[in-house]
């Protein structure tokens, strides 16, 4: 697609990042609202090729002709995309098509498509209706024009195509076409070839501040240098023999935007970047075809703190066509539950959990970590009233990872901690690299690394280029790998044809973006190589500036022996129990072992206010910790009826114990019984509800009032 843009718009495309030039180009493709608000029609104008009237029946009105199969930079292959919109054109299915060829020759042709209204006799005889189009005397109606006023923005119609979709059934939440539809299309057209206008009419929304907005894809909005939303982004390039080539780009949003609360920040980010509830976007030639929701982030990646703050784009353009064609349903709007889609999900999970995302998640989690509550005392109190051999205790043993023994060891080793390293100066990358070198001794002859069969090896390269060099919109660079020489192991014969010619023949490859001066390349041998083979590689860092090469040898080694896990020592039954810690949170700072609402909001985007009772941090299948709000309205109302410090202390203990153990049991039982929670949306659709959100919402809605009136004195005593 990008090659086509450079070919047809060789100079123009370089200026589209400037708003005045982008708006001028966007006039050539317009989506215009028409009709009353409650019965919106859409006009779509494209100043493109256009068609002669006599060609309508084999272009606009044809089905299954496959006239795009050999044009790689256009979407579609069955010639049915335009027809698919008819079913959304009101009860009568009206759609108007008008067109004139780009060179001005010929007439302007038009036709009207509709759903055939069945007569009484037809209704009795036919099972279904059909769609039909207007002809006069067997021909598409046509007449001569120089130009026409069709209500386009800033121009009259001369050539191209215009389509009107009458009474169009827009998705819920889309009213103002210039804004709401713009945000929605920005997600689906992640990186469109050309800018587009979405236009609202003043008579429909007279108070709309910007009735004409240009649309140029979510990618460019995310990668603006002065973005107030995005904290960081990076990309990784993957090659797998079965899947082919993919580029995965991860965008991590700020948990708190300047001038907004955590709640306002999250709502703004969701409205502007996740309008269609798509967290992982899979695109071909810049257009999104299918997606995952945030469920992938919480359940597969196990990064719950990033659930509302992470968008991942997977470019499938260079995937193996045979693999890609098996991923989606025929409608190409959602995944098919097949072995290919399951392999892709597992592949992405494995690589992303080892990527820079893991570092980002750890930083966010560490920022809201303190010593926490005295979980051991709770365990002792709890076990007095619950037999150790009960099913519930067994259930807890299976679910939670922290045990008393680890806690004791932690306290024992506290005096032996190492001093923290001095903080490094922040990395300041250059726009173009001035050096690029392998971070290993390389004499050009001796292999710099041994790569085990069935395993992988990470090679690191040092450079001084900025982190976004590979993914930035303007003047990006690229890392290229090439196979220079191949020396097979002569000890073993074989019947495979010839020697490998390409890097893809010998390695599955992962290439990462520069990260503070380091570029990583991960090599995993394919089945085409054998132990003892020596391979000479050339790695080139290239771009608009100077290019740099590193040439070196690697060798294929024996598979690594699986590491034997030490056998766990048998421990007394009472030492097996493990429980997640709790952390107390207050509106204002209390001490070093507690957090504040502001810390949770600013560092991790976790909203907490007077209505919040607790926030469980769930990572995959593990309840990692529980944040308990000590300034909740529930606790304050309960304590307002008390008068002495002793009563306040007992109330705090009652509250902490009740919230902690009820969260614990609700979580454990839900996981153990394998419940999956869904909620009905306003439009009637079901949406998956994360267990964290479910438990948090449960406690905010009267459940916690019951807890404080429930008798737990036996535990407290």
What DSSP letter does each residue of 59-80 carry, written as one string? TTT--S--TTTT-TTS--SSS-
Mean pLDDT, range 24-41, rounded to an integer:
94
Does residue 423 fall inside a structural domain? no
Contact (CB, 8 A) for 308 and 690: no
For CA atoms 430, 433, 434, 438, give the dihedral sign: positive
**What token pair was written down for 6?**
């450079």
Same structural domain, 48 and 158? yes
Structure tokens at 157: 């119609």
Structure confidence by residue, pLDDT tens digits, 63-78: 655 555 555 555 555 4
Burial 552-566 (b: 16+ CB within 10 A, else e): bbbbbbeeeeeeeee
CATH of the domain at 233: 3.30.230
Residue 422 lies in a domain: no
Overall domain count for the chain = 4
Is 143 in the same domain as 223? no
Q: Measure the CA–CA gap between 98 and 60, rounded to whole angstroms.
A: 10
pLDDT for residue 574 is more than 50 = no
pLDDT of residue 358: 94
417, part of any domain? no
User: Are the CB atoms for 389 and 587 separated by under 8 Å?
Assistant: no
Q: Has residue 466 been placed in a domain?
A: no
Give the whole-number percent of the chain exceeding pLDDT 70. Answer: 83
Mean pLDDT value across residues 398-427? 52
Same domain, 92 and 229: no
Higher-pLDDT residue of 517, 687: 517
What's the mean pLDDT in 637-643?
Answer: 88
Are residues 11 and 106 located together in one domain of the fold? yes
pLDDT of residue 573: 45
* Residue 192 and residue 312 in one domain: no
Q: What is the average pLDDT score of the chain?
A: 85
User: CA-based Rg of the chain, rounded to a whole angstrom?
Assistant: 31
* Nearest-angstrom CA–CA distance, 223 and 217: 11
pLDDT of residue 379: 56
| pLDDT for residue 226 | 75
**E strand segments, 489-571:** 507-512, 518-525, 534-542, 548-557
Q: Give the end of a domain, one of 160, 188, 208.
A: 208
Residues 129, 180 within the same domain: yes
pLDDT in tens, 34-93: 999 989 999 999 999 999 999 999 889 886 555 555 555 555 554 555 677 888 899 888
Same domain, 383 and 359: no
Q: How does pLDDT run across 641-674, given as a tens digit for each residue?
A: 888 999 999 889 888 988 998 898 899 889 888 8
Does residue 416 belong to any structural domain of this protein? no
Residue 503 in this model has a pLDDT that exceeds 50? yes
Same structural domain, 630 and 707: yes
Say yes or no: 201 and 347 in one domain. Answer: no
Residue 169 CB neighbour total at 10 angstroms: 12
DSSP 394-463: HHHHHH----HHHHHHHHHTGGGPPPPPPPPPPP--BSS-S-EEESS---SSS-SEEEETTS-EEEEEEE
Cα–Cα distance, 530 to 520 (Å, whole number): 24
Is 489 in the same domain as 591? no
Final residue before a domain boundary, out of 311, 338, 366:
366
528/240 Cα distance (integer angstroms): 13
In a domain, 567, yes or no: no
Q: For residue 444, what are its two tokens?
A: 């050009």
pLDDT band at 409 (very low <50, low <70, confident <90, very high): very low
* 322-361: pLDDT as tens digits: 999 888 776 666 788 889 999 999 999 999 999 999 999 9
Q: Is residue 109 part of a domain?
A: yes
Domain end call among 316, 345, 366: 366
pLDDT tens-digit readout, 535-561: 999 999 998 878 999 999 999 999 987
Whether 32 and 167 map to the same domain: the answer is: yes
Whether residue 162 is found in the same domain as residue 283:
no
Task: Quick: pLDDT tens for 218-258.
Answer: 998 898 877 899 999 999 999 999 999 999 999 999 998 88
Q: Which domain holds residue 281?
A: 218-366
* Section 18-47 average pLDDT: 93
pLDDT band for position 437 (50/70/90)?
very high
Q: Flag whether pLDDT at 12 surpasses 90.
A: no
Give domain status of residue 418, yes or no: no
The percent of residues above 90 in pLDDT, for the chain, comes to 52
Residue 713, SS3 per DSSP: helix
Nearest to 449 by CA among 377, 521, 344, 514: 521
Supply the CATH number for residue 483's domain: 2.60.40
In CATH, what number is assigned to the domain containing residue 8? Answer: 3.30.565
Task: Write out pLDDT tens, residues 148-202.
Answer: 999 999 999 999 999 999 999 998 888 899 999 999 999 999 999 899 999 999 8
d(CA 14, CA 39): 39
Q: Are 538 and 484 in contact (CB under 8 A)?
A: yes
């Amino acid at each position: 697609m990008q090659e086509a843009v450079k070919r047809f718009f060789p100079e123009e495309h370089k200026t589209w990042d400037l708003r005045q030039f982008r708006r001028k180009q966007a006039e050539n493709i317009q989506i215009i609202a028409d009709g009353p608000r409650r019965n919106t029609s859409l006009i779509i104008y494209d100043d493109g090729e256009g068609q002669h009237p006599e060609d309508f029946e084999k272009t606009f009105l044809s089905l299954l002709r496959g006239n795009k199969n050999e044009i790689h930079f256009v979407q579609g292959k069955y010639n049915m995309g335009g027809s698919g919109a008819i079913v959304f054109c009101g009860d009568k299915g009206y759609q108007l098509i008008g067109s004139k060829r780009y060179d001005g020759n010929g007439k302007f042709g038009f036709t009207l498509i509709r759903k055939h209204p069945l007569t009484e006799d037809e209704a009795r005889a036919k099972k279904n209706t059909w769609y039909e189009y207007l002809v006069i005397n067997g021909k598409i109606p046509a007449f001569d024009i120089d130009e026409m006023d069709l209500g386009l923005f800033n121009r009259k119609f001369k050539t191209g195509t215009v389509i009107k979709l009458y009474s169009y059934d827009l998705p819920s939440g889309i009213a103002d076409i210039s804004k709401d539809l713009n945000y929605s299309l920005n997600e689906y057209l992640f990186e469109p070839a050309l800018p587009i206008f979405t236009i609202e009419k003043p008579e429909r929304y007279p108070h709309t501040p910007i009735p004409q907005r240009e649309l140029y894809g979510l990618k460019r909005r995310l990668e603006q240098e002065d973005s107030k939303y995005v904290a960081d982004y990076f990309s990784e390039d993957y090659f797998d023999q079965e899947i082919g080539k993919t580029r995965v780009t991860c965008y991590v949003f700020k948990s708190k935007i300047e001038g907004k609360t955590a709640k306002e920040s999250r709502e703004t980010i969701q409205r502007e970047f996740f309008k269609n509830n798509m967290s992982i976007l899979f695109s071909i030639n810049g257009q999104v075809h299918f997606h995952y929701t945030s469920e992938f982030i919480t359940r597969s990646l196990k990064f719950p703190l990033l659930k509302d703050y992470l968008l991942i784009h997977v470019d499938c353009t260079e995937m193996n066509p045979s693999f890609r064609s098996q991923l989606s349903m025929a409608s190409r709007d959602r995944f098919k539950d097949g072995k290919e889609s399951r392999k892709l999900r597992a592949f992405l999970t494995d690589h992303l959990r080892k990527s820079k995302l893991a570092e980002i998640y750890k930083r966010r989690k560490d920022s809201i970590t303190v010593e926490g509550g005295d979980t051991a005392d709770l365990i002792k109190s709890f076990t007095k009233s619950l037999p150790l051999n009960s099913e519930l205790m067994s259930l807890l043993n299976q679910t939670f990872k922290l045990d008393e023994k680890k806690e004791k060891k932690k306290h024992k080793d506290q005096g032996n901690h190492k001093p923290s390293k001095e903080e490094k100066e922040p990395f300041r990358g250059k726009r173009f690299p001035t050096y690029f070198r392998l971070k290993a001794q390389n004499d050009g002859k001796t292999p710099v690394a041994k790569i085990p069969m069935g395993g992988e090896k990470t090679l690191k390269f040092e450079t001084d280029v900025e982190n976004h060099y590979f993914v930035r919109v303007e003047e990006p660079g690229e890392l290229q790998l090439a196979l220079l020489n191949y020396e097979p192991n002569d000890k073993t014969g074989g019947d495979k044809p010839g020697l490998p010619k390409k890097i893809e023949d010998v390695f599955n490859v992962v290439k990462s973006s520069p990260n503070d001066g380091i570029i990583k390349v991960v090599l995993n041998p394919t089945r085409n190589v054998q132990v003892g083979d020596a391979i000479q590689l050339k790695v080139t860092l290239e771009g608009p500036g100077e290019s740099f090469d590193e040439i070196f040898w690697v060798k294929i080694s024996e598979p690594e022996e699986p590491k034997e896990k030490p056998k766990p020592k048998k421990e007394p039954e009472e030492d097996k129990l493990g429980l997640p810690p709790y952390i107390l949170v207050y509106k204002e700072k209390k001490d070093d072992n507690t957090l504040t609402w502001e810390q949770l909001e600013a560092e991790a985007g976790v909203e907490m206010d007077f209505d919040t009772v607790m926030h469980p941090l769930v990572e995959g299948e593990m309840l990692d910790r529980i944040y308990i709000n000590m300034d909740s309205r529930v606790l304050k109302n309960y304590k307002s009826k008390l008068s002495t410090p002793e009563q306040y202390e007992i109330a705090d203990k009652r509250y902490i114990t009740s919230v902690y153990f009820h969260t614990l049991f609700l979580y454990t039982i839900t996981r153990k019984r394998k419940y999956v929670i869904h909620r009905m949306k306003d439009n009637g659709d079901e949406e998956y509800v994360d267990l964290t959100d479910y438990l948090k919402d449960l406690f905010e809605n009267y459940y916690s009032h019951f807890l404080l009136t429930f008798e737990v004195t036996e535990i407290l005593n």
